[in-house]
Amino acid sequence: MKTFSFDDIGIAKIFADFSLSIPPHQRDYAWTEEEVEQLFSDIEAAYRGSSEYFLGTIVAIEDKSTGGLSVVDGQQRMTTTYLLLTAIRDYLDKNEIGKEISISLQNSYLFSSDRREGFKQRLSLNTDDRAYFKKLTSKNSEEHWPPKESRTSHRLLKSAYFLAEKRVQGIAKSVTGVDAPETLNNWIDYLERSAQVILLRAHDQARAFKMFETLNDRGLRTSQADLVKSYLFGLSDRKIGEAQSKWSNMLENLRELGDDDPQVSFLRHYLIAFSGFVRADGVYEAIQTRFKNEGTSLSFLTSLAETSRTYTATFNSENEYWDSYSASARKYLKDFNFFDLKPMRPLLLAISTKFSQKEFEKSIRYLTSLSLRLVLSARTRSGSNEQAFADAAIKITRDEISKHQELVDSLKKIFVTDKDFYEVFANAKVSKSALARYILRELEHTASPKKGEAEWVNTDPQQITLEHILPKTRPISGWEKFDADLHAENKTRLGNLCLLKRSENNEMPNDSFATKRPFFEKSSLVVTAALAEYESWSPEVIDERQRSMAELALKTWPTV
C-alpha cells in the first residue's frame, strides 16, 4: 500500500490545487521581519535572474474526507507566501487595469467557493491565529482594517503583510504604471511555476513526521512536540480547555530551563521513566500507541504538568523543590548537573519522584560518582548504559526498586569498578579546566574534610586558578627533564595540576619547580601544599603523585 506521495510543484499552485490547514494546536506564526524579508529577497533575486527558486520541502497529511492537506512542516513559508499573494491582490484591486487579475488571483489561489460555507480561505491557520488571519487577508472593509492584534503571532502576521505590501509596491514602481499589473501577473506565474517546493503527502501523522524527520533534522524537536500536542488535544475534544491548561502548565515549568525547546527532551525522559525506553525519534509514535482516548490523554497531560515541575527542579539544586533536602543532597545534585549526562536524566527523574529524601541523597551521590567514572573512562555514549539507566528508572517508578542499594545492584553491570577506576584515574589527562577544577576541589574536600565551605571551594577562575606545575607552554629552560614529547605527554595529566588562589598564583614564577615550591608550601590547600614534599619535578614524580591522587579518588567517588 502506498503510504505517501511527492510532487515537484510551484508553491502557489499548492494553493490552487488544495485546501490547506494548519493543525489546530500547532505552533503560532513565528517569522520575524528578518525571516520574511529574506524569503522575499531570495524569491525576487531568482525572479530577476530568470532562474527557478527552491523553497525546500512541505510535509502534509491528507484528509481523506475533504481532500485537503494538513501542513505538518512548512507553515511559515506557506503562510508568508499567501500573504505575498494577498498583497499582490490588494495592489491590483486598486488598479483599474489590474482588477481582473486581482479577481482571478482571489478565486484561484486565495479563496474557494463552497456551496455551504460560501467563500472559504484556501489556507486556514491554527486555533489562535485563524480568525485574525482571515480578517487580515479578507480586507472586506478598510474601516476596520487592519484588525486589532491580541497575540505576538498576530503582530508578526500583520508585520509580514505590510512587508509584502511594501515589496509589491517596490516591484510596481520599478516599471511604468501601465506595465505594473502585467509585471505582477508575471510574479504570480513565477510563484506558481518556478518557485518550487517538494510537496510530500502522507496518509497519517506518524508517516508525515517520519518524512519530516528524514528531510529536515533541524526541525525535528519542534515538529515532534507540535504533533504530540495536536494529537493529545484532538483526543481531549470535549475537555479541550482543560487539556490546553495542563499543557500550558507544563510549558511554564519547562521555561525555567532556558532551552529553546525542551518539550521533546522532557517528553522522552518522562516516557522512559514511566513507560519504558523510547528513542529520540520515537516520542510521537510512543504516545500515539499508549494513549488512545480522552481519559488516558487527560491523565497523561495531568501527569506531565505535575512531573514537569520535578523535572525542571532536577536541573537546579537551588530550586525551592529541594528546600527540605539536606545541604549534602543539594551539593551532590549540583555536582551531578556539572556532568549533565543526558542518558541519566530519566533515572534522576525517577529517584526524585519516588525515593525518600534519605534514599535520594545516597543515590544522587552514587550517580555523581558514576558520572565521573564514566566520563574519565570515556564510556558516556554507550547504548548499553542508556538502556541500563532506562531499565532502572522504570523499575523505580513501578515500585520494584525503592532503596538506594537496590539501585546500586541494578547498575552493577555498567559500573566502573574500583580497580578500573584507579587505573583510569592514575593515567587521566584532563584538558577541560572546569573538569580539572571540579576533580581537584573534590579531592581537597576528602583530604581536608573539616574545612567546610571555605573560599577555595569556589572554582570561579577569577578567584581560584588552575595551575599547571609543568607549564602548559613548553619552557626554554628550568624543566630539563621534559623534552618536547614528555612535555606534551604530561602537561595535562592530573598529577601535574593543582589549585591556587589567584593572589598566590599571580606572584609565582614559572621558570622552575624550585622557584614554585615555596608557594605550594604556603598554600592553605592540603593537596596543593603536599607538592612541597617533592624535591624536583619529573615524569616519574607526576606519575607517583597521580597514583596517590587515584587512591584519594576511590574515597571521593565511592561505589556505594
* Cell 595529566 belongs to residue: 493
Q: How many helices (H) and strands (E) does the chain have?
A: 25, 10
State the cell numbers at 33: 521581519
pLDDT (0 to 100) of residue 453: 45
State the cell numbers at 387: 538502556
* CA 59 to chain CA centroid, nearest Å: 22
Pairwise CA distance, residues 233 & 57, whole Å: 26
pLDDT (0 to 100) of residue 144: 67
Q: What is the pLDDT of residues 79-90, one digit of tens each?
A: 999 999 999 999
Q: First and final CA of the chain: distance in angstroms?
A: 55
Q: What is the pLDDT of residues 516-533, one digit of tens each?
A: 999 999 888 899 999 999
Pairwise CA distance, residues 260 & 300, whole Å: 23
Identity of the residue numbered 153: S
pLDDT (0 to 100) of residue 281: 82
Pairwise CA distance, residues 368 & 333, whole Å: 8
Which residue ranges in the chain fall short of pLDDT 50?
A: 216-222, 452-456
Q: Using CB atoms within 10 Å of the CB of residue 536, give its burial: 0 to 12 exposed, 13 to 18 middle, 19+ buried.
A: exposed
Task: Tell me if the pTM is above 0.85.
Answer: no
pLDDT (0 to 100) of residue 118: 61
Pairwise CA distance, residues 494 & 467, whole Å: 11
Pairwise CA distance, residues 10 & 544, whole Å: 71
